[in-house]
Chain A
Amino acid sequence: MIKLLSYLIGNGVVTSRDICPPLEGGVRGLPALTDSSCAGSGCSACADVCPTSAIKVLSVDEAGSITLDLGMCIGCGLCVDICPSGTIVNDLSTKIATTSREALILSNEAQLVSTISGGDAQQHKIRPDRLFGKSVAARVVSTGCSGCDLELGAAGNPIFDIERFGVHIVASPRFADVLLVTGPVARGMQDALKSCYEAMSDPRKIIAIGTCAISGGVHRGGYAEGNGVTDLIVTSVFIPGCPPHPWSIVHGVLVAMGRAEPRIYQRRKVEMPSAVRTEATQRKALPGA
């Protein structure tokens, strides 16, 4: 016991004082868009290399423009490496959680940019509610590859120490305020997730951790229907990444508590290509039914 104490004291306090600091240079965050318009003349290099089709080329005329859906992005960084015009850059911020699915869709389309920057950027900010301002009990439902679970576990370690913000991971949905969902929620876990959600009392919030939970990521559109939690239950906070950095998870939970501002991407495309469904999706019939 004395040995352990002296070992622990010898190591000092390792908990980070900075909250959600940016990543160090050379580390890969998610991509972001700059003011520069695309290289034009038919450049679709980024869309061609994107493994999850998160990038769509809107127009290939002289200006050229794209949309980048961070909710489908797995952060491989290939687009950043290949972009010839400096339009797509590496974003070192760890404060990347948003409060709407649409807010994750960026665009460098000239018209949209002018509407947002010409209008009032503030008006797009969502006023945080303070439902769980002081503390929050969180239940985790894991449905994926466990990468996000490990980063969530790391958020609880002495370095990030999510508990100091009043966040407690609890063992039952009965006394949970928020539900943290990781993974694409394929068929196998859909019923379990729904009954877990139903066991929670109001007010309650869902936080989607990671690209799979937001959109299904690399699994999207497969026969197992792992298209994310956002199609199944109304989701309040979206934390993109594959997996998100522990600081981003901390940021997302603080956003849900109303204690941090959600990320407002300036190059946001306002319209969502397909409406986010709020009710449980009807299962498609698989062959063999």
Chain B
Amino acid sequence: MNLSPRIVPLDSLPRELKSAVQPHGEWRLGLLTSLDGSQLITLLLQPVTGEIQLWESPIEGNRYHSLTDFGIPQAHWFERGLADLFGLFPEGHPRLKHLLMHDQYPVNFHPLRKTPLSPEENPFSTRRFPFLEVSGEGVFELPVGPIHAGVIEPGHFRFSCFGETILNLEIMLGWVHRGVEKRMTEVPWQRARFVAEAAAGDTVIANALAHSIVVESLLEVEVPRRAQLVRTIALELERLAMHIIDVGGLATDIGLLGIAASMSRLRGKALGMGERLTGTRFMKAFVQPGGVRKADEAALSFIGKGVQELRKDVPPAIDMLFGVQAARERMSVGKVSHSLAVEFGFVGILGRGSGVEYDARTVFPHGAYPQLAPKPVIEQNGDIRSRGKIRAGEISSSLDVIAAALDELTDGPICADLPRNLPADKFSCAIVEAFRGELIHLACTDKNGAFHRYAIKDPSFNNWTAISIAIRNNLIADFPLCNKSMSLSYSGNDL
């Protein structure tokens, strides 16, 4: 969707933003970022009506009053990112620490800033990460990571424990910071989609789709209906495969290995459907600006058959997981309350598990949504089981969406022709419901029609705070399961 920014002076930004995001949940803070370090860019989303606003607040110097400090907790992670990437420092931020770049980088290096900072302008003299210290007799620290015991992405967790109980968890991310956002602006725009797909390797279609929507709205290109439906099928296949393996992950961590093995077999089926449709298991290089690359009838009827098989095969395995008493007890912890979920703006499974009725598929147009959007699956308890139940519910609603899209498919073109050049000085954004939740791409072109700034907000960027909240005062043994129930992305956060 194309946007033009409204100028909101920096002085009135906190007041205006606060009145927008309160009372609870009227507007969401979609993005808080900058273009080159000389302004704040605020993207606001209305999660019921689908309205979008873009604010621009020019900054003199490199300091601004922290919005977090003004009572807008949704901003706290964004402000840390702004400090690292742009050298813009929030005054009064309650816990300003580095988020993406640590002592492997020079302290005064800010990759997306146009004019370098002088050392006096930088409040940090080191990039070392100061962990919150919990003191008291018998309190000890447990460091975990960055390299984890299993086959997962890197991150560092610092637990402050008293006996088996976690008093505080502090998370240090940024280990897989690869400079994706900068790279998006370094390559010709026709190649940028391959970089977008590498933002998070499990969110390939969602990222490719968001990127395509951004480019298509800049170019004012209409996507053929057949392509929209095929994109929807691909997005739901991605959701299906990842939800299945995430439910399997719960079974693994509870110790129900038979169910876990079955879930990975079933995920293989979902990936196989994607492979037939797109050519690869992770559906890479398939969704492209203008449409999709191919859509042959044999693959689509194969998917139709696969949907019927999965409808039959998946529910018994999931029912067994939720039917085991021991599993139910293990899944009763890790609570995130509704009020905190709203305050921190948690998205996707995490938000819906705590009763937040927000699913981008029902609000913002992408693919064949909102026409084909399923009714959001909502749970109120906010615990591990709620999140598992939502995955189970969404597995079946995704299968329904795929079936509905297949029914509606008619012949027609699958890709529109694109003009060669992007328009100059334009803003465009896309909001896509990835399997983890709301994914945002925001692009701004320069006077030559190249990307001047390309921002990606992975759903996990909102959600990482939740694990610290949910695990507090729980047993250390419950952490892996709680973590699995949130399925947070390290690479999507670190970019």
Contact = CB atoms under 8 A, between A and B. Distances in A.
A7 B180 CA distance: 44
Interface stretch (B98-106, B360-368, B372-380, B401-409): B98-106
A158 B109 contact: no
A51 B268 contact: no
B183 interface: yes
Interface string B88-126: 000000000000011011111111000011000000000
B282 interface: yes
Contacts of A144: 176, 178, 198, 201, 491
Interface string B475-491: 00000000000000111
A169 B148 CA distance: 12
A7 B176 contact: no
Given A189-B175, A287-B109, A150 B154 contact: no
Contacts of B187: 51
B13 interface: no
A14 to B, nearest CB: 5
A242 B286 CA distance: 13
Interface stretch (B53-61, B132-140, B259-267, B333-341): B259-267
A154 B175 contact: no
Given A51-B194, A144-B176, A189-B176, A243 B282 contact: yes
A78 B285 contact: yes
B284 interface: yes
A4 B320 contact: yes
Contact of A186 (B106, B177, B191, B276): B177
Interface in A111-164: 140-154, 156-159
B491 A75 contact: no
A76 B178 contact: no
B275 interface: yes
Contacts of A186: 176-179
B284 A223 contact: no
Contacts of B258: 4-5, 7-8
Contact of A149 (B152, B178, B180): B152
Interface string B317-340: 100100100000000000000000
Interface stretch (A31-39, A190-198, A254-262, A266-274): A190-198
B201 A243 contact: yes
A142 B109 contact: no
Contact of A189 (B146, B149, B245): B146
Interface residues of B, number: 69
Interface in B172-196: 174-180, 182-183, 186-187, 191, 194-195
B494 interface: yes
A204 interface: no
Interface in B254-284: 256, 258-259, 261-262, 264-265, 267-268, 271, 275-276, 279-282, 284
A14 B279 CA distance: 23
A77 B179 contact: no
Given A28-B280, A169-B151, A224 B177 contact: yes
Interface in A199-232: 212, 217-219, 222-224, 226
Given A146-B489, A288-B106, A51 B191 contact: yes
B264 A158 contact: yes
A224 B201 CA distance: 18
Nearest to B276: A26
B259 A4 contact: yes
A245 B178 CA distance: 23
A281 interface: no
Contact of A222 (B108, B152, B178, B282): B178
A183 B151 CA distance: 13
Nearest to B207: A145
B299 interface: yes
Contacts of B151: 140, 142, 149, 152-153, 156, 169
Given A8-B262, A183-B176, A196-B147, A288 B280 contact: no
Contacts of A226: 178-179
A157 B265 contact: yes
A217 B259 CA distance: 36
B268 A145 contact: no
A145 B183 CA distance: 15
B204 interface: yes
Contacts of B262: 7-8, 11
Contacts of A142: 147, 151-154, 176
Nearest to A148: B201
Given A4-B320, A223-B111, 10 more contacts: A27-B276, A77-B285, A142-B151, A147-B201, A149-B151, A152-B151, A183-B176, A190-B104, A218-B194, A223-B182
5 contacts: A26-B279, A27-B279, A145-B176, A222-B186, A288-B117
7 tightest Cβ-Cβ pairs between the two chains A and B: A147-B201, A145-B201, A288-B109, A288-B108, A28-B279, A76-B285, A171-B149
